Amino acid sequence: MVLTYVTSRGQWYLNSWKGDLSRSGGIASNIGIHFFDLLLWLFGRVEGFEVHLSQPQKMAGYLELERASVRWFLSIDRHDLPFEARPGGPTTFRSITVDGSELEFSDGFADLHTRIYREILAGRGFGVEDARPAIVLTHGLRNAAPVGVTGRAHEHLLRRR
């Protein structure tokens, strides 16, 4: 399985609290945690992981889950988009490939946080225990020393060799 999430952000992102690792937890916590949570919910507990790349603008690695192996790549660098970013055009690419079938889901996230917050305020949200596995995984990924590009690396890293 391959998870790719590229969401172009300008210099403002790195200059804001989101670009401050001590305040936001970096790209793994700020962007990746949502997808790590989804993967754990769908494919079970973490059995192992590797971090291949860890930089302020991008991070990549490998997850061995109970029912899936996942090569993942996160980036806020517009140069990682699979198309040229143009003013007024799309600036995000989200994709998951399972058994050779790709599902591209770049649209549809515009009001997701607002909808989730409404559910939480109405008493129908998730608690810390629900999120704990993703929090623990994200903490581990953020603190892991990158092993470099291995054979289990995301295709984006393999192309850059």
Do residues 70 and 1 lie in contact, with contact meaning Cβ atoms separated by under 8 Å?
A: yes
Query: What dihedral do alpha carbons 146, 147, 148, 151 form, nearest 10°?
Result: -130
Q: How many CA atoms lie within 13 A of 67 on its CB side?
A: 7
* pTM score: 0.89
Candidate CATH numbers 3.90.79.10, 3.40.50.2300, 1.20.810.10, 3.30.360.10; the one for domain 2-147: 3.30.360.10
Name residues whose C-beta falls within 8 Å of residue 7's C-beta, 6 or more positions apart in sequence.
31, 75, 76, 91, 92, 93, 94
Per-residue pLDDT of the chain (161 residues; tens, 9 = 90+): 999 999 988 888 888 988 888 888 889 998 899 899 999 999 999 999 999 999 999 999 999 999 999 999 999 998 999 887 777 778 889 999 999 999 988 876 667 778 878 888 888 878 888 889 999 999 999 999 999 998 899 998 888 65
Q: pLDDT tens-digit profile of 35-55? A: 999 999 999 999 999 999 999
